């Protein structure tokens, strides 16, 4: 049988116990510190991953905003093209517009007393007049006045219209110069 003798004084026993508790506390603290460090590293990694995800989401949102802006720009660009096309069409129509009021103004200046116009027809720049004159002389004077006018050319009065001396029914064919009906009437 073995006999164990404890020759250590009680204060030393107390110190040994305290040293063992201290070693145990230090070991527990070290283990706890390792867990805390691992936890903080985990939190830092998780924060970094969340930051990356947030950047990706922000880039996606910014891309969708830019896409929306590009869509708006494309819409406005198409709208501008439509409007410009309409403006070009209007300018063409306006450029081709004939101002017949100029012709009527010049006719009113050329008509003499005793000459009346009963019918007037146009085709392109050709004008056909049908009317009645009191006398052959007033009809000839009317024809000469039309020939002198800067708006008219190619005034054609058939000789068959000059057969009777009084109350002459006539037909005159003439051409209107393009410049006369294309320029807006100057007031």
**Looking at the structure, do residues 84 and 133 belong to the same domain, yes or no?**
no
Sign of the torsion formed by the C-alpha atoms of 83, 84, 88 and 89:
negative
| 13 and 85 part of one domain | yes
Same domain, residue pair 104 and 90: no
Structural domain harbouring 118: 100-182
Q: 96 pLDDT band (50/70/90 cuts)?
A: low
- The per-residue pLDDT for range 159-174, each reduced to its tens digit, is 766 677 777 788 888 8
Claim to verify: residue 45 and residue 81 sit in the same structural domain: yes
Query: Domain end: 52, 80, 97, which one?
Result: 97
* 113 and 78 inside one domain: no
Statement: the pTM of the whole predicted model exceeds 0.75: no
Residue range 107-162, pLDDT digits in tens: 777 777 888 888 888 887 788 888 888 887 887 888 888 888 888 888 877 776 66
Least confident of 29-38, 47-56, 136-145: 136-145
Note whether residue 86 is domain-resident: yes
Q: Do 14 and 92 reside in the same domain of the chain?
A: yes
Same domain, 88 and 129: no
Task: Assess whether 93 and 104 both reside in one domain.
Answer: no
Total domains present in the chain: 2
> Of 35, 64, 97, which residue sits at a domain end?
97
């Amino acid at each position: 049988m073995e006999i164990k003798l404890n020759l250590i004084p009680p204060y030393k026993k107390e110190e040994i116990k305290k040293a063992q508790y201290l070693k145990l506390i230090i070991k527990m603290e070290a283990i706890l510190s390792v867990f805390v460090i691992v936890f903080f590293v985990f939190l830092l990694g998780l924060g970094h991953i969340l930051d990356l995800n947030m950047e990706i989401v922000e880039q996606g949102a910014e891309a969708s905003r830019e896409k929306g802006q590009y869509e708006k720009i494309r819409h406005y660009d198409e709208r501008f093209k439509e409007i410009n096309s309409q403006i070009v069409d209007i300018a063409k129509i306006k450029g081709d517009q004939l101002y017949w009021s100029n012709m009527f103004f010049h006719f009113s200046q050329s008509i003499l007393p005793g000459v009346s116009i009963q019918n007037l027809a146009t085709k392109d720049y050709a004008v056909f007049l049908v009317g009645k004159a009191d006398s052959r002389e007033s009809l000839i004077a009317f024809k000469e006045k039309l020939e002198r006018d800067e708006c008219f050319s190619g005034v054609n009065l058939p000789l068959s219209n000059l057969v009777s001396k009084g109350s002459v029914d006539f037909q005159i064919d003439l051409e209107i110069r393009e410049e006369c009906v294309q320029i807006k009437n100057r007031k």
